[in-house]
Structure 1
């Protein structure tokens, strides 16, 4: 009997990331993102997740059009259409209806592409009654129900299809208040748990937001070390997160905590930039990208900083990536590698390997970037 894979794609997941909208929940925000030139990426990320399943005994049950039907059929899967979205762009209600249909169809697993908003909609509908797995395609990925990358999601499902032994765990679904998020405030909320196939290499951890010790002194040392080596006429693209914010504070500059700012000769020349703005600012200049990792997960690209596009990364080069993190943050990974999820698998592969992580004043360690 074929493996019955339920598929739900949020076609507009992640739209707001590249144009600095900090999310894409709601039809109006999706329309705004499209008007600003955002390009939908959910289809290509879902395609990457489905590729490891081609040639395996899989039939896909899904919703029509961009919610999964067109892609599954185009890739040659036996495809069963159970319904279609009532609105364009599709809404949270469409996602819930699709999830309910897949639940009633008794699929083996629901594979869905989106962000935390999509996970929340599916959790509200199916709860723990059926295994699910998320393909990361949104701006906000704080929930533990997502694979590390689209390719990792596909490999994990392929293990199930081939009959390999895969554990099942309960993982948390969390989401942020997008309005507060756009104002630089992080307000996460627990919405429930879902049952997720678990394999250590492929499954993301819930974002670690705990602050178990005061690391103010360490952050000051990291900031001092960075400021000391800054050069004139070099454009510094300052990524999101509290570690980078400490550097901006040391420079006496205003900082977009959840965005990317451009600093040149000790001044912010552009704040909360979009992907296109960053690319334009980088032309003809020496550029450094300053980023940190997401605590507990290890992602350095592709989570909350989609403004750092693959095109920009290739233009700037891996050698001009300045990575900062406390040793406590690195130790919390328990040996798991850092992850780049740029949307271009070849770039992710090319940037894997050891990288220098600045952990204090003139103090750095080597840590591994790996492709799951």
Structure 2
């Protein structure tokens, strides 16, 4: 099998620093302390792939567009030198001087050379590749971005490798999956403006591939209001990290704080009154409070079935290692927990802590034990 590999070198940098994306805000992300992660995530994919005895050859982009990951492994590969890639330095942090046009050019060239294109990035990268290739060429995403709502992503870098192996063996079928992208500027201002750009062929085995983002059904709105009111009445004094999403916004509104829709807020409850300590918190803000025995209140991302690892990367392994499983309060409507829920932080020890079964509040008076995988 001949595999195209494209890495978006800035993908995911905005996650832990609460920028909800990286497009157009790389300098701000670096100012907040972000560092490139895409190559390291790609190496997780390649490391898993290296465990299988399978004949695979790669075609990739130069330097940070893929070559820098592949050169540490024994896979045969060809580099498409479509142009000389320079470096730019922002506050002592060096990143490849690339744009989305590099992704499109590489995808267009690979379209004639490979059986499938694997990409490390988020929804924006998926969209760029989709626009550049023949729609008959399959694609598969290594989840590396901040928001990954399209159906073309594997659950994890390791699952991307396993799915590729199964495709090579003839055990995975190709199906049409939605390419969905959000307006990142609107997203940063608590507005969800999503658009479906089309469908792309993607290898599919249910246990390896994520779903697409789904909104909370309108008929569950009143149920969410009731759950929020019941939960808030039960909260004890202490520090709380409140997650993102429309479900969590109802809880924030019930607490009468000016919380974000799409960010994480730090709240202190004292004598039944909530005080907003940090609005739209970054990872570094959460780390300042981990010594205060905080509790996390979070929901499940509809359709994707993720608890941690999609859209809330501020809950990093460095933060979550301080949070006992029993200090995580999960609120979700029944439609979100019909299947097992997922945790993927990139840290196996942290992920293992949450595996098994966990309680989810599904109504004002009922909890459900849901499997975490």
TM-score by length of 1: 0.92
Q: How does 1:285-304 map to 2 (within 5 A)?
A: 285-304=292-311
Q: Does 1:360 align with 2:363?
A: yes
Q: Does 1:102 align with 2:110?
A: yes
Q: Does 1:222 align with 2:227?
A: yes
Q: Is the 8 A contact 2:155 2:209 kept in 1?
A: yes
Give the whole-Å Cα distance in 1 for the aligned partners of 2:358 and 2:210. Answer: 21
1:195 maps to: 201
Q: Could you list the runs of 5+ residues in structure 1 that have no partner in the other structure?
A: none
Give the whole-Å Cα distance in 2 for the aligned partners of 1:97 and 1:32. Answer: 27
Deviation at residue 341 of structure 1 after TM alignment: 1.5
2:90 maps to: none
Q: Does 1:5 align with 2:3?
A: yes
Equivalent residue in structure 2 for 1:179, among 185, 190, 201: 185
Q: Is the 8 A contact 2:39 2:68 kept in 1?
A: no
Q: Is the 8 A contact 2:268 2:276 kept in 1?
A: yes
Q: Does 1:93 align with 2:101?
A: yes
RMSD: 1.5
TM-score by length of 2: 0.92
- Return closer, same or farther for 1:341/1:89 CA change in 2, 3 Å cut-off: farther
Q: How does 1:108-123 map to 2 (within 5 A)?
A: 108-123=115-130
- Structure 1 residues 52-61 or 300-309, which shifts more? 52-61
- Return closer, same or farther for 1:127/1:263 CA change in 2, 3 Å cut-off: farther
Deviation at residue 85 of structure 1 after TM alignment: 6.0
1:79 maps to: 77
Equivalent residue in structure 1 for 2:255, among 236, 247, 251: 251
Give the whole-Å Cα distance in 2 for the aligned partners of 1:109 and 1:210. Answer: 33
Q: Is the 8 A contact 1:136 1:147 kept in 2?
A: yes
Q: Is the 8 A contact 1:85 1:94 kept in 2?
A: no
- Structure 1 residues 345-354 or 260-269, which shifts more? 345-354
Give the whole-Å Cα distance in 1 for the aligned partners of 2:346 and 2:258. Answer: 30
Give the whole-Å Cα distance in 2 for the aligned partners of 1:227 and 1:127. Answer: 51
2:350 maps to: 347
1:14 maps to: 12
The C-alpha deviation readout for 1:255-294, integer Å capped at 9, x for no partner, is: 1000000000210011001111111122x20210111011
- Return closer, same or farther for 1:245/1:74 CA change in 2, 3 Å cut-off: same
1:276 maps to: 284
The C-alpha deviation readout for 1:290-338, integer Å capped at 9, x for no partner, is: 110111110111111111111100011222111100113323xxx3x10
Give the whole-Å Cα distance in 1 for the aligned partners of 2:80 and 2:202. Answer: 23
Equivalent residue in structure 2 for 1:136, among 136, 143, 148: 143
Give the whole-Å Cα distance in 1 for the aligned partners of 2:31 and 2:253. Answer: 34
- Return closer, same or farther for 1:85/1:242 CA change in 2, 3 Å cut-off: farther
